[in-house]
């Protein structure tokens, strides 16, 4: 039975690819970007669970848990007024300008493992930047609202995204934490829509979905 379902699944996918090649359905590919530990994978998982029932990838408090970009295709998000958007969500590795394995040692990781993690994370950033250049139609830029939004990497990334004329929604995440100040993020990036959410608890994600339909639809 399981094998049958798998075969059926593959066949279904092939068939839909076949149809897509005819109808060239324009899908919007949305990249979730942001510094490490902003909650990108948590949000990607939530979006995937809310609209498809699946998950995207594992989450960890150690930075650079996501070291390869992960894609979840054909997510159909529908808004309150009945309009829908079909999109692929790409969860990307945390973007940073410095990766040092010493940082992982603090989490009790062995040196060898930490060095490998650091190397993979570096490749991951390169991969995320590659996606941004060629395959992304819109960006969700995640920020931890308990931290200073004026970090150099954020200013740089928003600048890069703007220079590519990509629509961007800034998500002020972790509003479940007591010292979260999403207002600081709003004043840092007044030129872009900012949605304050808790990806972990799911607070206010409906707002984000509505904004996504508005900006990426």
Q: Is 213 in the site for other proteins (CB under 8 A)?
A: no
Phi, psi for 159 (deg, rounded to 5): -60, -45
Q: Is 134 in the site for other proteins (CB under 8 A)?
A: yes
Contacts (CB under 8 A) with other proteins, residues 68-97: 95-97
Residue 45: which H helix or E strand, with range? helix 40-51
Q: Is 2 in the site for other proteins (CB under 8 A)?
A: no
Looking from the CA of 167 toward its CB, the CA atoms found within 13 Å total 13
User: In the numeric block, which tokens belong to residue 28?
Assistant: 């919007």
Smallest distance, other proteins to C-beta of residue 201, A: 31
Region from 43-51, 129-137, 138-146, 172-180 binding other proteins, contact rule CB under 8 A: 129-137
- CA separation for the pair 115, 105 (Å, rounded): 9
Q: Is 19 in the site for other proteins (CB under 8 A)?
A: no
- Positive/negative CA dihedral, 212, 26, 74, 91: negative
Smallest distance, other proteins to C-beta of residue 160, A: 4
Q: Is 155 in the site for other proteins (CB under 8 A)?
A: no
Among 125, 140, 185, 188, binds other proteins (CB under 8 A): 125
- CA separation for the pair 175, 131 (Å, rounded): 28
Region from 42-50, 63-71, 157-165, 180-188 binding other proteins, contact rule CB under 8 A: 157-165
Tell the burial category of 17 from Cβ atoms under 10 Å away from its Cβ (0-12, 13-18, 19+): exposed
Chain residues in the site for other proteins (CB under 8 A): 21, 24, 95-102, 114-115, 118-119, 122, 125-126, 129-130, 132-135, 153, 156-157, 160, 164
């Amino acid at each position: 039975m399981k094998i049958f379902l798998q075969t059926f699944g593959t066949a279904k996918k092939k068939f839909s690819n076949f149809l897509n090649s005819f109808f060239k359905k324009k899908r919007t590919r949305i990249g979730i970007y942001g510094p490490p530990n902003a909650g990108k994978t948590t949000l990607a998982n939530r979006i995937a669970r809310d609209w498809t029932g699946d998950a995207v990838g594992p989450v960890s408090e150690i930075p650079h848990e996501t070291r390869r970009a992960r894609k979840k295709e054909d997510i159909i998000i529908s808004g309150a007024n009945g309009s829908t958007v079909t999109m692929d969500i790409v969860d990307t590795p945390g973007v940073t300008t410095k990766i040092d394995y010493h940082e992982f040692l603090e989490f009790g990781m062995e040196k060898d493992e930490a060095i490998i993690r650091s190397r993979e994370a570096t490749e991951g950033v390169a991969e995320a930047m590659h996606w941004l250049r060629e395959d992304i139609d819109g960006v969700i830029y995640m920020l931890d609202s308990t931290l200073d939004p004026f970090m150099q990497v954020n200013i740089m990334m928003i600048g890069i995204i703007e220079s590519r004329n990509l629509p961007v929604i800034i998500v002020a995440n972790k509003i479940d934490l007591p010292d979260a100040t999403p207002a600081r993020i709003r004043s840092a990036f007044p030129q872009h829509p900012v949605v304050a959410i808790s990806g972990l608890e799911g607070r206010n994600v409906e707002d984000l979905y509505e904004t996504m339909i508005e900006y990426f639809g």
